[in-house]
A = this chain, B = another copy of it.
Amino acid sequence: MPDIMMERVDQGNFPELVTLIFALAEFEHLTPPDEEGVKRLQEHALSPKPYFEAYLARSDGRAIAYLILIQTYSTFLARPTLFIEDIFVLEEFRWRGVGKAMFLFSAEKAKAMDCGRMEWQALDWNVNAINFYERIGARQLNEWVSFRMDAAAIDRLLSK
């Protein structure tokens, strides 16, 4: 495993986070933030009350992976849940334990926050990721289906 250091995103390394977010969007065939979005992302990441916690994994001086953590909640457990919004390792640095190191980092945070669970989502074609998640002891929640209402659908609902 490469020698990696986890570091919190700040003003100085924020551009490296943006580069990695763009790489994840490309990998997932999804749309990355536009210029205005990058400005909002910086505000949301670095404000005194940040909207999420962002971390970079650095190896040999280079940011090779990132992690976005959010605290959600389970009313039935009556404990916070650590939700992993993004976890991504640059393609050329995979299969060396970087993802595992980021899960260990997240698991330690979850313990410190007294969380009852960690949860995250994966795209169904990302078989490598899905196999990895099962190998580290995660369970696929096949009985739950996810729903989304985008901004246009929210406006339609409100205008009816």
What is the interface of chain A, defined by CB distance below 8 A to chain B? 21, 25, 30-33, 36-38, 40-41, 44, 51-52, 68, 70-80, 83, 85-86, 103-104, 107-108, 110-111, 115-125, 130, 133, 136-151, 153-154, 156-158
Known contacts A137-B153, A147-B133; A72 and B72 CB within 8 A of each other: yes
Min CB gap A13→B, angstroms: 15
Inter-chain pairs besides A21-B75, A137-B157, A138-B149, 15 sampled, C-beta below 8 Å: A44-B80, A51-B73, A72-B83, A75-B85, A116-B150, A117-B148, A117-B151, A120-B146, A120-B147, A121-B145, A122-B144, A123-B145, A124-B145, A141-B147, A146-B146
